[in-house]
A and B are shown apart, each in its own frame.
Chain A
């Protein structure tokens, strides 16, 4: 009945694409990952993942670890033309970190742990993590908190295994003193016996680091790391602390921006969702005291929120050029008419102390929400509080 007359090119109850899968590397993600580890450890700081042991979360449709695979095929190119020679064509496993929710301004305030360090130690640590892509985008506050949270871990004797291949990974390490050997066992996990660690593939000296994947999610360690001399010292940082520092500061800053934006009458009709999108596009900038942030007469392209510090507006042609026409403190804003048109700045704004501002470009605003005129037409603009320009922006030129 069903299927009668249908000539299947595939045998019943077999996968129709079995042969194709062999050519293209099959779906043995974990076997591939294991093999890759054997000979492609390029950096000891970058353990591989996905052997199917430990706590890597495997997508419910992910491949199964017990499926047998052709071991020699997976990394070969399926065909020569135009394909990357080493791409693994197997199913890719999903990954997930533990779910984190910001405490925000709730009562159980979280503060990151602080482990004191000498200025020398701090300088060395800074240098050690400066080139690392997981740290290079941090702002000053975040970087300071992360540096503070690194915990000293003395490794008194030679031969202590700091991380074990195949084990769950929760910590990232920076070598303060001494050296450590990296071993990789081709089986993907540490084995019993004298050669259980597998051959040594590399050594990490002071200033080096390892285990950074653990800062993203819990993946099995790709190598065993063992102290190569007595009296070594490490700095350790765990994933939850690291991610929490980033999350809490980002969360707090976004809520601050959204709060500031709520106070801008020009943007009063934005929904919380739109404000949040705008908060995404704000760029933080720092200026020293005495810096001219916007200059009277210049074309206006950006709008500013004052995050910290104080500033003042000056206008030429007022009774006294040196008397500010307006003062700004945290949460105030200026230059908002730039969102509306390219009219010259009506005043100069100069920082009175070191200031931190959040800048929003007109173009970014328009890309996200369209022309500001459209936003303003939603409600009648009431000029309760403006930055520099004490006039109805719809009539401003």
Chain B
């Protein structure tokens, strides 16, 4: 066996199963004698129908097409079912793969559990990435999601430098409906990481919010639990002042971030920025928002940005009486047909160049292999695995 492997590329231990599968495929699929004994090489799928929601999945049910994004403990891959009918196998999904050791090391166990639960809870919203299933194995947690082919709004924003007000209004309106749903209809879910990097475009140019890694269900009218939470998380440029000051934060942080986002849509950069994060935080808690001369920003746009980015939460639009309904009535959104927005009656201002359903050309290219990572030892399994049992 060692000799067989030596002829091709060795598969390092600890490699992710999908990576190992990819390497094996690259090596011609010859080096796994036990597979050979079971079935002919390269014919390891059957034609039995395969429904991803019908049973508990394993990673072997999928083959990786390519990576769509990476992080310290997570990687999102475009995948296809490895078996099933031809129709089943032609489907594509986004598979988020989280490495248990990294989740534990970075103290993100709670966040990962919330992520799965909240994705499950919000799965039918038109502007939120669709949860399909979750599963796990010894080293990894997996969340299977619908594939959103248009890539990140971030990429388009940087490409176009900035959006005009009609474009910004379109995206902002879809986000308002997301926040209304999370905060009000779902009873107090704070998203906590709004930014262009986390907004994908679907084939028709509509927004899909992804990455619920920081989303948290807070108390609400019925639960009687505290409505505020204390863990600092988010993205430096988009953090609300109450998060920086550790005052306990609520769903109001998402309205602050929406103000920052509209500013960045219209100017191409956020209102508070610096190479040094501490300087960003100082500006956020001390400095008013200043608008550039160029490009010209309408008074309505300036006003809604200022009203969202108000330090006093008893004055912050979205958090004050009327909630999202009040936001929808702001002059910036004058003329918006909210029903048409919700039902996606119009295509978005940017139509991503998608050639076929599994086309990934709108995403950046990422390395397909992780750096070597720590082992998920039996001690860790003993101590932590029960936290992952919902997957």
Contacts and interface: CB of A to CB of B under 8 A. Distances in A.
29 contacts: A2-B356, A3-B356, A8-B355, A9-B353, A14-B361, A15-B361, A15-B363, A17-B158, A21-B155, A41-B276, A42-B279, A60-B70, A60-B71, A61-B76, A78-B161, A89-B269, A92-B235, A95-B232, A97-B233, A101-B230, A133-B282, A137-B285, A247-B246, A250-B246, A272-B219, A273-B220, A364-B315, A368-B319, A369-B321
Interface residues of B, number: 92
Nearest to A20: B159
A117 B276 CA distance: 33
Interface string A82-125: 11101111011111111111100000000000000000000000
Interface string B202-233: 00000000110110000111011011101111
Contact of A82 (B213, B292, B313): B292
B230 A102 contact: yes
Interface stretch (A211-219, A286-294, A303-311): A211-219
A1 B356 CA distance: 9
A206 interface: no
A59 B223 CA distance: 30
B246 A49 contact: no
A255 B224 CA distance: 11
A92 B355 CA distance: 29
A60 B321 contact: no
Given A3-B356, A91-B197, A96-B108, A367 B364 contact: no
Given A10-B353, A94-B233, A273-B188, A36 B211 contact: no
Interface residues of A, number: 95
Contacts of A102: 226, 230
A242 B214 CA distance: 22
Interface in B232-280: 232-238, 244-248, 250, 267-269, 273, 275-279
Contacts of B244: 216
Nearest to A101: B230
B105 A40 contact: no
Given A89-B269, A222-B276, 15 more contacts: A3-B355, A3-B359, A8-B355, A14-B365, A55-B106, A59-B71, A60-B98, A64-B70, A81-B294, A94-B234, A133-B282, A246-B246, A250-B246, A254-B248, A281-B313
Interface class of chain B by DSSP:
loop
Nearest to A96: B233
Contacts of A246: 245-247
Residue among B158, B198, B315 with the highest chain A CB neighbour number at 10 A? B158
A140 interface: no
B96 interface: yes
A16 interface: yes
Contact of B248 (A251, A272, A366, A368): A251
Contacts of A230: none
Nearest to B352: A16
B154 A91 contact: yes
A243 B230 contact: yes
Interface class of chain A by DSSP:
loop
B361 A10 contact: yes
A216 B159 contact: no
Given A60-B71, A368-B314, A12 B361 contact: yes
B328 interface: no
A88 B320 contact: no
Contacts of B188: 273
A367 B365 contact: no
A99 B353 contact: no
B323 to A, nearest CB: 10
B116 interface: no
Interface string A38-67: 001111011111100001111111111011
Contact of A61 (B210, B236, B238, B353): B210
Interface of B: 69-76, 96, 98, 105-108, 110-111, 152, 154-156, 158-159, 161, 188, 193, 195, 197-198, 210-211, 213-214, 219-221, 223-224, 226-228, 230-238, 244-248, 250, 267-269, 273, 275-279, 281-282, 285-286, 292-295, 313-315, 319-322, 353, 355-357, 359, 361-367, 371
Contacts of B276: 36, 40-43, 46, 48, 222
A272 B221 contact: yes
A86 B279 CA distance: 14
B114 to A, nearest CB: 10
Residue among B224, B235, B276, B362 with the highest chain A CB neighbour number at 10 A? B276
Nearest to A371: B321
A331 to B, nearest CB: 20
A280 interface: yes
Nearest to B160: A20
A217 B197 contact: no
B286 A61 contact: no
A216 B281 contact: yes
A251 B249 CA distance: 11
Contacts of B193: 59, 94
Contacts of A61: 69, 71, 76, 152, 197-198, 210-211
A201 to B, nearest CB: 13
A15 B154 CA distance: 14
A276 B74 contact: no
A66 B69 CA distance: 13
